Amino acid sequence: MHRGNDVDPRSEIRDFLTTRRARISPDQAGLPAYGTEHRRVPGLRREEVAMLAGVSVDYYTRLERGNARGVSDQVLDALARALHLDEAETAHLFDLVRATNAAASAASARSAASAGHRPSGQRVRPGMQRLLDTMAMAPAYVRNGRMDVLASNSLGRALFAPLFDSPVRHTNIARFMFLDPAAQDFYDGWDRHAADTVALLRAEAGRNPYDKALSDLIGELSTRSEIFRVRWADHNVRFHRSGIKHLHHPVVGELMLSYESMELTADAGLRLNAYSAELGSASQDALNVLASWSATTTTAVQES
């Protein structure tokens, strides 16, 4: 939930746990199905989650209301098992609890705000840019948790030309995804990409609830995009490590690319995304054409 300039960790815990237990049926949890037809809400009841996690109903109720003071890692692990949380969801639960406990006192909240706030003027180190530039045949860029693209190589800029050329302010994947109609033409399976983008922002908000730039972005997208607003309320989270992107490029057409997303250990909060095509494939041929087109365009600009 977006409130003012911050994401409220207590409300986030409540909404996250509520939505997670709503999706688990008693049958999925291994509980007797007796009486399920009389349930007022879908999924598990609080007392059932408490029983599965091995805690009292009062304890779980306090936690679901955002009071995470003193909750142990063992209890969180038990809740993750009871609610069938995946790796990303479990990490998100731990992040929310840490953020809630940090906000328990004004001093801790101020400290968390200072530590969690990442200035909007993040820069990529020259050495990182040189590394990007040496990846001549692999489109690549560096982004932060807010989905701002901070640097790219020339092939990355050529591949994601609709993003870099978008009239939407700043080079931000989330703004492009939800505020520029061109994104629906560029991404094959736009709905899935849109859901993934929201899930990545939701996970980032759990890690950095006091990041003003992130909160402002969430508020902007919630105001301007009904699709984003609806998906944000789902409280889904995910990791973004590897996979396949199917793109419709305006110059070279269809591309099916594998991607790897790697955390930059020397630059907190930044990730390197790099793309490749299967050797000998039509997508590899398209990448070669795109590289040639990009080089020609760059040379023409330099000579003009």
In one letter, which amino acid is 105? S
Tokens of 36: 């399920």
**Using alpha carbons only, how large is the chain's radius of gyration in Å?**
22
Cα–Cα distances (Å) from 20 to 41, 107, 123, 185, 225, in that order, read 13, 31, 37, 33, 24
The residues, ordered by sequence, that sit 6+ positions from 298 with a Cβ below 8 Å of its Cβ are 154
Residue 2's pLDDT is 42
The more confidently predicted of residues 232 and 117 is 232
Given a cut of 60, whether residue 35 has pLDDT beyond it is no
Residue 27's pLDDT is 87
52 contacts 82 by C-beta, under 8 angstroms: yes
Given a cut of 50, whether residue 302 has pLDDT beyond it is no
Given a cut of 70, whether residue 300 has pLDDT beyond it is no
Residue 59 three-state SS: helix
Average pLDDT on 250-261 reads 96
Given a cut of 80, whether residue 198 has pLDDT beyond it is yes
Average confidence score pLDDT of the chain: 88
Residue with tokens 């409130």, as numbered in its chain = 3
- The percentage of the chain sitting over the pLDDT mark of 70, rounded to a whole number, equals 86
39 contacts 48 by C-beta, under 8 angstroms: no
Residue 37's pLDDT is 56
Q: What domains does the chain contain, in order, with CATH numbers?
A: 2-116 (1.10.260.40), 126-303 (3.30.450.180)
- The percentage of the chain sitting over the pLDDT mark of 90, rounded to a whole number, equals 74
* pTM across the whole model: 0.86
